[in-house]
Structure 1
Amino acid sequence: MKLSLSVLICCCVLLLSCEDTKKEKQVSAEKTPTTTEASEKNTEETETPSEKKYPKITQENVVEFLTAYGKDNPETNLRITTTHGTIDLELYEDTPLHRANYIYLTKQGYFDNTFFHRIVPNFIIQGGNSDNADTNEKRYQIGKDYLIPAELNGRNHTYGSVSGAKQYRENPDKKTAPFEFFIFLGPQTSTSHLNGNYTVFARVTNGMDVVEKIANLPADDNEWPQKNVEISVEVL
């Protein structure tokens, strides 16, 4: 009788032990994410800004879009890499729409494989355009019809200043064409038609020797370099 009772107690203990172990395994399985779930989570966490889908920029949403983008992307330094060397820029914080626009275009890869397409010795070099088909395609994807409101702030053109280009001279609101910019290197006597009409949004901090070299390359009658000066731009 005592033996039977001891056997019965042992069996009960074993059953309870097995049940607890089973429950622990179930809880452990519930807390461990599957390989697919872990992979999806990692993908979300490692998504880069350039992979994020943004709406096309239009004249109606340009201020709202660039204001919001600028708050999330506060960088102020860019590097232009050319076939003749590098040029470093500092973007001004008191031209927030222009700063945000050029950071956005850079992170979207717009400037890569564009050119310094206009060069005038002792005056300017202008970049952001090309005769490549993918340049127009990039403009279409980003929003080819918007202009940036002027942010003049009383800043004049000086040696190494960077300004936004305009699509046409008769532009009473002095809005900037978003995809092109020019670096000024001419004398102050050449700024009378620039000051107060073009937004100065950055300055060259390093590489004016490269700017000078590009400005003095052979060019055709339309001020286009005879040999393309390809560029790429990155955020520092």
Structure 2
Amino acid sequence: MRFIWLTACFLLFLNCEDKQSQQNKTTTEIDSSTVKVDDQLDTKSEEMDNKDQPFLLTKDNAMEFFLQYDKKHKENKVRIVTDFGNIDILLFNETKFHRSNFIYLTKKGYFDNTQFYRVIDNYIVQGGSTDDREVMRRRRFIGKYLLPTDTKRGFRHDRGVISMPSSNIDNPYKLASPYEFFITLRDVYELDGDYTIFGKVIRGIEVADKIAQVDTDDADWPLQNVYIRRVEILD
């Protein structure tokens, strides 16, 4: 009888162990599944965060971006609106990176309320910059990049062309500052080969002449701000 009682106790013990093992196994599977779901949620969250990041132009991606942008955005006529009148510009298709850059910035509204900040009578008016914090903020949201010169297209710095100045940073190759431009008021062929001509004035050169006659300080900055109210795409 004692043997039978011991055998029954032993079988009961084994049954309890098996149930405990099954419970542990089930708990482990739930924990593992929870970890996998958490990992998936974290991954999706990271992907959403990346999608929310704004696109910024950089020295590494700008050329490829404008190469592709040029294929889809063929506009080449713009109007610079100022308090002195309007200046209509034809942008050259031959200088596609610079044309695309100007169209892109125009569509972004970058030029709105920038200024002609350097004016020299019978020489040039230079615009596209300002010390306004809002314009500086726009630049940060568009990106920090430069454009290479493109001076082998046969264009010369005749009166009334629009050209791109070099960046004022350490710049031995005269890489162009993409946010700024200048309009020539006479033939200035000494600039040929150094700066990229990417368009010409087709109407309103007399407006640029008037702007160049305003009073300036010793750095050629107008004493009264000369605003570019906006740039519009005509065609």
Q: Work out which of the two has the higher radius of gyration on C-alpha atoms and give 1 or 2.
A: 2
Q: Alpha-carbon deviation of 1:154?
A: 3.2
TM-score (normalised: structure 1): 0.73
**Aligned equivalents of 2:170, 2:212: Cα separation in 1:** 27
Whether contact under 8 Å (1:80, 1:88) holds in the other structure is yes
**Aligned equivalents of 2:128, 2:168: Cα separation in 1:** 16
Residue in structure 2 matched with residue 28 of structure 1 by the alignment:
none
TM-score (normalised: structure 2): 0.73
- Deviation readout 1:43-67 (Å, 9 max, x if unpaired): xxxxxxxxxx962110000111011
Q: Which amino acid aligns with 1:147?
A: L
**Aligned equivalents of 1:126, 1:91: Cα separation in 2:** 17
Residue in structure 1 matched with residue 60 of structure 2 by the alignment:
60
Q: Secondary structure at the match of 1:110?
A: coil
Mapping of residues 192-203 of structure 1, within 5 Å? 192=190, 194-203=191-200
Query: Percent of pairs identical after alignment?
Result: 43
- Deviation readout 1:154-176 (Å, 9 max, x if unpaired): 32100000001112397443321
> In structure 2, do the counterparts of structure 1 residues 75 and 134 end up closer, same or farther at CA, with 3 Å as the change threshold?
same
Whether contact under 8 Å (2:121, 2:213) holds in the other structure is yes
After TM superposition, which residue ranges in structure 1, 4 or more long, deviate above 2 angstroms? 168-174
Q: Alpha-carbon deviation of 1:191?
A: 2.8
Q: Which amino acid aligns with 2:130?
A: S
Residue in structure 2 matched with residue 46 of structure 1 by the alignment:
none
> In structure 2, do the counterparts of structure 1 residues 169 and 141 end up closer, same or farther at CA, with 3 Å as the change threshold?
closer
Whether contact under 8 Å (2:54, 2:141) holds in the other structure is no
- Deviation readout 1:105-152 (Å, 9 max, x if unpaired): 000000001001110001000000112111110010000x20012111
**Aligned equivalents of 1:88, 1:164: Cα separation in 2:** 17
Mapping of residues 132-171 of structure 1, within 5 Å? 132-143=132-143, 145-152=144-151, 153-168=153-168, 171=171
- Deviation readout 1:47-105 (Å, 9 max, x if unpaired): xxxxxx96211000011101111111110000000010000000000000000000000
**Aligned equivalents of 1:116, 1:87: Cα separation in 2:** 13
**Aligned match of 1:209 in 206, 210, 213?**
206
Mapping of residues 73-222 of structure 1, within 5 Å? 73-143=73-143, 145-152=144-151, 153-168=153-168, 171-186=171-186, 188=187, 190-192=188-190, 194-222=191-219
Whether contact under 8 Å (2:149, 2:174) holds in the other structure is yes
Mapping of residues 12-23 of structure 1, within 5 Å? none
Whether contact under 8 Å (1:154, 1:196) holds in the other structure is no
Over the aligned positions, Cα root-mean-square deviation in angstroms equals 1.5
Q: Secondary structure at the match of 1:105?
A: helix
Farther off after superposition, 63-72 or 202-211: 63-72
Structure 2 unaligned regions, length at least 5:
1-52
Mapping of residues 23-62 of structure 1, within 5 Å? 55-62=55-62
> In structure 2, do the counterparts of structure 1 residues 130 and 205 end up closer, same or farther at CA, with 3 Å as the change threshold?
same
Q: Which amino acid aligns with 1:222?
A: A
Structure 1 unaligned regions, length at least 5:
1-52
Farther off after superposition, 61-70 or 120-129: 61-70
Q: Which amino acid aligns with 1:149?
A: P
Q: Secondary structure at the match of 1:100?
A: helix
**Aligned equivalents of 2:54, 2:205: Cα separation in 1:** 34
> In structure 2, do the counterparts of structure 1 residues 54 and 89 end up closer, same or farther at CA, with 3 Å as the change threshold?
farther
Q: Secondary structure at the match of 2:71?
A: helix
